[in-house]
Amino acid sequence: MSTPTLQTPRFILRELTRADAADLYPSFSDDAVMRWWSRGPFSSKEELADWLVPESGWEEGRSWAIVETEGGPVIGRLAAMDRGDGISEIAYLVVRGRHGEGVAKEALAALIDHLFRTEKRRRIYADVDPDNAASNRIVEKLGFTLEGRLRQAWTTHIGPRDSLIWGLLADEWQGIPR
């Protein structure tokens, strides 16, 4: 499936490229930013580029770079993974220094709207660490329902971690929040 360019009032969401690793690396290599991820910080731009956009392609899903202008620096990354049967899992990261500006909420709203309205997905979910308060607030504000807690679902760089599963169904989606 292709990765379409999406627009929000403030941002352009375009297909992520290997070259975008340079803008994302300072955040993806930061202990604090990566604390709640299923893996630890990246040790090089090349390692990050290989993970974000493998040479052979990423068969599991699609990734978008969040930029403010064409050719501008990447300020975040979104991903949508096809889980089959009309279901997508989403993931997101906003670069350090841009937290608290509503970047993730605005960009995710556009992606969710596209997945439901254009791609006719029936369910979208997010798997969030219980201690990642900011991320949990974002999905809650977007209308996701907390469906459950998977105890010690991951063993990460900081040890065994629980997962909160947040779900949103197509008929629950109210459209892009104002």
Burial class of residue 124 in the structure, from the number of CB atoms within 10 Å of its CB (0-12 exposed, 13-18 middle, 19+ buried)? buried
Check: CB of residue 53 under 8 Å from CB of residue 15: no
Q: What is the per-residue pLDDT for 57? A: 61
Which residues, in sequence order, are bridge partners of residue 148?
A: 165
Structural domain spans, the chain: 6-172
Confidence grade of residue 53 (pLDDT, cut at 50, 70, 90) = confident
Whole-angstrom distance, CA of residue 98 vs CA of residue 167? 26
Check: CB of residue 66 under 8 Å from CB of residue 94: yes
> Chain-centre distance of CA 12, in angstroms?
15
- Going by DSSP bridges, is the β-strand pair 87-94/123-128 parallel, antiparallel, or unpaired? parallel
Question: CATH top-level class for 6-172?
Answer: alpha beta
Mean pLDDT of 18-22: 96
Q: Is the pLDDT of residue 18 over 70?
A: yes
Burial class of residue 61 in the structure, from the number of CB atoms within 10 Å of its CB (0-12 exposed, 13-18 middle, 19+ buried)? middle
Strands of 145-156's sheet in order across: 6-7, 12-15, 61-67, 74-84, 87-94, 123-128, 159-169, 145-156
Mean pLDDT of the chain, nearest integer: 94
Give tens-digit pLDDT for 125-170: 999 999 999 999 999 999 999 999 999 999 989 999 999 999 999 9
Q: Pick 39 or 137 by higher pLDDT.
A: 137
Q: What is the per-residue pLDDT for 1? A: 74
Whole-angstrom distance, CA of residue 98 vs CA of residue 131? 20
Q: What is the per-residue pLDDT for 96? A: 93
- In three-state secondary structure terms, 166 is strand
CA end-to-end span of the chain, whole Å?
Answer: 29
Confidence grade of residue 58 (pLDDT, cut at 50, 70, 90) = low
Q: Is the pLDDT of residue 60 over 80?
A: no
Q: What is the per-residue pLDDT for 89? A: 97
Q: Please name the helix (run of DSSP H) or strand (run of DSSP E) that holds residue 21, with its range, or none.
A: helix 21-28
